[in-house]
Chain A
Amino acid sequence: MNVGNDESLRKAAERLPRDIAPDRDLWPGIAARIGSKRRSHSLWAYGVAASLFVAVGAASVWFGLARQAPGAGAAPQLAAAPSPEAAYFAQRAAFAENTVQNTPNLAPATREVILKNLRVIEGSMQQIEQALEQDPNNPRLRALLYDLYQNEARLLAATQQIQAQTTQRNDL
């Protein structure tokens, strides 16, 4: 190789291939690490998730949701729902949103932030549900959906925690 001066060496360096595939597929290792990080991030929420819907049910009684026309937002969505899964999704989404809407003592800005995040999570869930209709056995989609359920659980649990703390302060 003629690299007698800096310029010819630089040109030789510039001609080096820009793409060099690794000897093995690195994706499985990357996917595992991404997956494990997601699991570890939501580990503490896992326990919360187990009792979430019981807690939300109790909260609905506590906040008098049952007396405040709980199905108002959900009914039209249910009517248009194409499948039992979609019906369940719509019902759960409306229930979660009503829980936040009817939680007293939340500052308006806090409520708005929680609702905004809840809608993002639910929008993502809906997209994944639709994707799963096309590819029902896709494990990645199922893992994503599971994580989103956990995120939703965490958000609602946090909402209740704020409410509980506020109530406690007011009681003092």
Chain B
Amino acid sequence: MHQRDMESALAMQMPTRNSFDGSDENTVAARARDGDMAAFEQLYRRYVGRVHAVCLRLAGNRTLAEECTQDAFVRAWESLAKFRGDSSFGTWVHRIAVNTVLERHRTQLRQAAWISSKDDDILESVPAADSGPEHAMDLDQCIAELPAAARTVFVLFDVEGHTHEEIAEMTGLAVGTSKAHLHRARRMLRARLES
């Protein structure tokens, strides 16, 4: 169900196929695959906002998000031969972007897997809500302040619409650990947002 939600959301957000100076997306992607950097720039311009958004939410800071966005497009360029057009270029580069950020978080995620084997410990580590008005931040700001593993799982599950099984495969976390991090993230967010 979650995956379908994500696909329909993407379908609404992704551009139409006839938005590239009269060429459809597959034609532009084919030109890029043949080494046409101008065509690749068109794809970049079309999808940079989407890619940067997911990088920003997963990375938690703008500097790392920009680095990962650049890395994702460079990797996409290098892997264009593998892009067959089965999905839209946007969906494809989005996956590359998620993997790029997750690779940066690999060490933190490994630590999270070890720590998170005890759900109770995680829940006890949730900080108390601060009731000051300065903490009435918007959701994106609160997400950025979550610990890396909790942020990763929350963004992938609640924002991007992946299932816990998919998240486990992407991050190397156990399914139960993913659920525990989601629980932790939601609890921390509610505490922050309602303060």
Contact = CB atoms under 8 A, between A and B. Distances in A.
Contact of B53 (A3, A20, A127, A143): A20
Contacts of B52: 20-22, 26
A3 B36 contact: no
B9 A140 contact: no
B66 A19 contact: no
Contacts of B70: 26, 29-30, 33
Interface stretch (B37-45, B112-120, B121-129, B166-174): B37-45
A20 B194 contact: no
Q: Please tell me the size bucket of the interface on B.
A: 35 or more
Q: Chain A's interface: helix, strand, loop or mixed, by majority?
A: helix
A33 B73 CA distance: 10
B66 A26 contact: yes
Contacts of B78: 37
8 contacts: A3-B189, A6-B186, A14-B9, A18-B9, A19-B53, A20-B49, A20-B52, A27-B48
B74 interface: yes
B12 to A, nearest CB: 9
Contact of B56 (A1, A20, A26): A20
B97 to A, nearest CB: 12
Contacts of A143: 37
Contacts of A16: 57, 139-140, 159
Interface string A2-36: 01101001101110111111111011011101110
